[in-house]
Structure formats: structure tokens, C-alpha cells
Amino acid sequence: MQNVVLMITIAKRSMSEEYISYFEKNNIGMTLGKYATGTAVNEMLEYLGIGDREKCILFSTMTEEKSKKILEDFKLKFGIAKAGEGIAFTIPISSISSKKALDYLVAEIDNNKEEGYVMETEFESIFVIANRGYTDKVMEAARDAGAHGGTVMHARGTGVENSEKFFGTTIGAEKEIIIIVAKREERNKIMQSIKEKAGINTEAQAIMFSLPVSDVAGITGK
């Protein structure tokens, strides 16, 4: 079986319909969209040529082979490699529950190839889940450790009562999810800084995990 990846595209909100239309025309099996807010400071927004912080974030599933073509198209068609135009990256999917789920997630797949693979990656995506209102605290800690920026989404946690029992503390239901893309060698330093300054024992009560990024467009040098 061919490798399957999750592509995450973060772009200007005004470009959302163009990206969605592109995915539809290229027979991408599934795309989910969400509005989000960038964490860049005003001076950085001006430097990048972005008028505001409003973003769209798209989650799409496809084969790794197709994702490489799409990332190149993003550079050519949407100029995503230019400063301020956004970022797109892929995360390898290690398992899918059933053949029906696979058929739903990926429109074009070769089921005759062997399953299973190990992928070495240059970048990692750090997912931080924190109480709402503490994004600045999380990003301050991340930047202190070398992170360049992040994207935040509002969310609502479930199973809060069980979480309280597990952590021994009250955890608010209103959450913010911050996604930070960083080089693999910078990951531990960034996560440790967030843990110390905005971790579970602070008011932010941030928890986090990281996922490998198999390819990326929109970061300097890529």
C-alpha cells in the first residue's frame, strides 16, 4: 500500500475557497476546513505583508506521492513559499481503521503495495492544548526556545471530569490548540520551555505532543 499522509495547509482566510477548489479539482478524498488566528506580533505581520491575523486551516488526506506534487503546485500557483503567504506540511499516517475508511480518506490508492514504513523527518509539528486565553503565554515560552510562530484554533474539551481525576486539578473545558512547526532538533527545547512556563501545573495547563512532518512548504529554505 502506498504511504498515506495528512496535509495541513494554513493560509490567508481570503484564499480558503481557492485552496478548497484546488483540492476538489485534484480529486482529494477528504478536506476539512477551519478558521483560525495567527500568533505573529503586529510588527511581524507588517514585515510579512499580511494585513491581519485571520487564517484558514485545511486538513486533507492523500497519498504521499500526490502530496509532493501538490506542495510544488502550491509554490507555483499560490506562491506559498513566499514570506507571509502561508505554510503547508504533511504528516505520515501510521494506520487507518478499515478498507472502507481508507477508500473514504484517499481517492486514489494502490492496495497491492506492502504496508508499513518508517520515515525520518527534518521537521516536526508540535500540538499544544491549553486553557483558553493563554496563547500568548504558550507562544512566549515557545519563542524563548527558538520557535518562529504558531497558529491557534479555539476548541472545546470533552471528558473534563475524567481529566480532573487524572491530573488532580480543575481543567477548563474551553481550549486553544496551538500548532507550531519546528526543526526536529529544536523540538525538545521548545516543548520543555512550554512545559516549564505554561505546563499542566500553571494556569495555562498546557499539554502537548509532536508528530513527524514528512514534507513542508513555506519555511525559509524550503
Q: What is the pLDDT of residues 3-27, one digit of tens each?
A: 888 898 888 888 888 888 898 888 8
**Is the residue at 221 inside a domain?**
no
Residue 71 and residue 19 in contact, taking contact as beta carbons nearer than 8 Å: no
Supply the CATH number for residue 186's domain: 3.30.70.120
- Residue 74 CA to residue 113 CA, distance in Å, equals 28
**Is the residue at 46 inside a domain?**
yes
* Residue 11 exposure: Cα atoms within 13 Å on the Cβ side: 24
Cβ density class 47-79: b for 16+ within 10 Å, e for less: eeebeebebbbbebbbbbebbeebbeebbeebe
- Residue 105 CA to residue 107 CA, distance in Å, equals 7
Do 171 and 66 fall into the same domain? no
Across 142-151, 162-171, 201-210, least confident range: 162-171
Do 127 and 208 fall into the same domain? yes
- Residue 135 CA to residue 174 CA, distance in Å, equals 12
**Is the residue at 222 inside a domain?**
no
Residue 33 CB: number of other CB atoms within 10 A? 16
Model pLDDT, residue 85: 72
Do 88 and 140 fall into the same domain? no
Q: What is the pLDDT of residues 86-140, one digit of tens each?
A: 888 998 875 565 566 677 677 666 554 434 334 457 888 888 888 889 999 999 9
Using a cut of 0.85, tell me whether the model's pTM lies above it: no
Model pLDDT, residue 142: 95
Model pLDDT, residue 111: 53
Q: What is the pLDDT of residues 35-53, one digit of tens each?
A: 766 665 554 444 444 444 6
